Chain A
Amino acid sequence: MTDGEMRQPLTPRAERMFSRLLFGGALLSVIVFAIGIVLALASSSITDVSQPMSLGSIADSIASMNVMGLIGCGMLILVATPLIRIFATILYFSLRDRWLMVLPVVTVVLIMFGFAVRM
């Protein structure tokens, strides 16, 4: 098996693009989390660290632009990061390899189905 016999699915440029997308999403969410935690501690907004929030209350907090909304915003950025990566791979492989494009399409359909079932 040699380089000539091997077909790499991603070009080096695409590898860099996907790398930046994933790392950028994680970094952005962590920055938002850090600001949110500092502000929450400074304003004594957290009384119970393990208090869970529903999606609705996270959305309400974001809409009212309070400190917990900022943390919720970081969480949504984080959850969106792998999803955006999947959509980016669909776009990328739609131009290069239709067979490989099918895989992320099926994955995203399954994720949406799972979310819809539990909602």
Chain B
Amino acid sequence: MAVAETLLILLLISIVIGVVGSLLGIGGGVFLIPIMTLCLGIDIKVAAATSLVTIIVTSSTSAPRYLREGLVNVSLGMFLEVFTVTGAIIGAIAVAYISQSYIEALFGIVLIYAAVYMAIGMERRSESHKALHPASSDSRFNGRFRDESTDETRYYGVKNLPRGAFAGFIAGNLSGLIGVGGGVVKVPAMHIWMGVPVKAAVATSNFMIGVTAVASALVYLANGLVAPAITAAAAIGIFIGAVIGSRTLHRITGRSLRIMFSILLVVISAIMFLRAGGIL
């Protein structure tokens, strides 16, 4: 495939990934890496490095709009960043010692559980978020935002901080190990365990993934694994997609977002199982 053709295809694919990533609070690495390796024949380590750099684009493009709309829980994001960054660094260092297929299979199981729980189990509980939430463990992390899709202000308390910190660590670990942003773990964890409404969880995840990715990306950069040409093409596409996606979130209801996220988790877990089995 010609150079210009490859870069154009990557740019177009990245636009779609940018929209999805921005809407669901993920970096999009789980899609970008398999596409780059399978369709464009790019080495998996180079693909992971490219993915990590482009995750910074998703975060830096989407988070500003969510910040201005008051959707981001800044205190919670900064708290969880400590654990995601710790996990990302350990993951990036440990990648040489752990079986990749084992991690991918485990990741797939966790995602299927999260998908089912988000789609079915959380239905009743998420409705209670419309009302006042029970006392939180630390009022410093309480949040509120204006939900334009339902035209109401939603208040929520944040609970289970240690469990959320653990999920943050695992999300960071996956970022370092397989080159993703970790949003696929952070969003369900914030929503299911910590009681954060899904829109605020998506926005807070978008705010955080840039920092998680930069921790891993610097390690990959130091190891000379980043390919500038494909990174540039993917970054331009992701930027365009993230601008479109971030302008769409406020129009979508929390229920639609949960269903979309559940479908996404099932698709990603299928990709992970196929990769673990050596098929992808």
Query: A residues bordering B, Cβ < 8 Å?
Result: 1-3, 5-7, 9-10, 15-16, 18-20, 22-23, 25-27, 29-30, 33-34, 36-37, 40-41, 46-47, 49-55, 57-58, 68, 71-72, 74-75, 78-79, 81-83, 85-86, 89, 99-100, 103-104, 106-107, 110-111, 113-115, 117-119
Q: Within 8 Å CB of A110, what residues of B? A: 82, 85-86, 89, 215
Q: Which of B132, B228, B232 has the most CB atoms of chain A within a 10 A radius of its CB? A: B228
Q: Within 8 Å CB of B60, what residues of A? A: 22-23, 25-26, 78, 81-82
Q: Within 8 Å CB of B210, what residues of A? A: 22, 81-82, 85
Is the pair A75, B228 in contact by a Cβ cutoff of 8 Å?
yes
Chain B residue total in the interface (Cβ 8 A): 68
Say yes or no: is B193 at the interface (Cβ < 8 Å to chain A).
no
Is the pair B65, A3 in contact by a Cβ cutoff of 8 Å?
no
Is the pair B65, A19 in contact by a Cβ cutoff of 8 Å?
yes
Is the pair B139, A72 in contact by a Cβ cutoff of 8 Å?
no
Say yes or no: is B255 at the interface (Cβ < 8 Å to chain A).
no
Is the pair B144, A50 in contact by a Cβ cutoff of 8 Å?
no
- The smallest C-beta distance from A6 to any residue of chain B, in angstroms, reads 5
Say yes or no: is B124 at the interface (Cβ < 8 Å to chain A).
no
Q: Within 8 Å CB of B57, what residues of A? A: 26, 29-30, 78
- The smallest C-beta distance from A103 to any residue of chain B, in angstroms, reads 4
| B79-109 with Cβ < 8 A to chain A | 79, 81-82, 85-86, 88-89, 92-93
Provide the bound-state CA to CA distance between A92 and B3, in Å: 45
Is the pair A22, B63 in contact by a Cβ cutoff of 8 Å?
yes
Q: Output the nearest chain A residue to B226 by Cβ-Cβ distance.
A: A52
- The smallest C-beta distance from B92 to any residue of chain A, in angstroms, reads 7
Is the pair B68, A16 in contact by a Cβ cutoff of 8 Å?
yes
15 A-B contacts, Cβ less than 8 Å apart? A1-B157, A15-B68, A33-B235, A34-B232, A46-B229, A49-B42, A49-B230, A53-B228, A71-B228, A71-B231, A78-B235, A82-B59, A82-B214, A107-B78, A111-B215
Provide the bound-state CA to CA distance between A1 and B222, in Å: 47
- The smallest C-beta distance from A88 to any residue of chain B, in angstroms, reads 12
Q: A26-B60, A100-B78 are in contact. Are A1 and B221 (CB under 8 A)?
A: no
Is the pair A111, B64 in contact by a Cβ cutoff of 8 Å?
no
Say yes or no: is B155 at the interface (Cβ < 8 Å to chain A).
yes
| B196-242 with Cβ < 8 A to chain A | 210-211, 213-215, 217-219, 221-233, 235-236, 239
Is the pair A114, B218 in contact by a Cβ cutoff of 8 Å?
yes
Q: Within 8 Å CB of A79, what residues of B? A: 53, 56, 214, 217-218, 221
Is the pair B61, A23 in contact by a Cβ cutoff of 8 Å?
yes
Contact residue among A75, A85, A114 (Cβ-Cβ distance under 8 Å from B92): A114
Is the pair A55, B232 in contact by a Cβ cutoff of 8 Å?
no
Say yes or no: is B128 at the interface (Cβ < 8 Å to chain A).
no
Provide the bound-state CA to CA distance between A37 and B235, in Å: 11
Q: Which of A57, A104, A114 has the most CB atoms of chain B within a 10 A radius of its CB? A: A114
Say yes or no: is B30 at the interface (Cβ < 8 Å to chain A).
no
Contact residue among A2, A15, A75, A89 (Cβ-Cβ distance under 8 Å from B231): A75
Say yes or no: is B187 at the interface (Cβ < 8 Å to chain A).
no
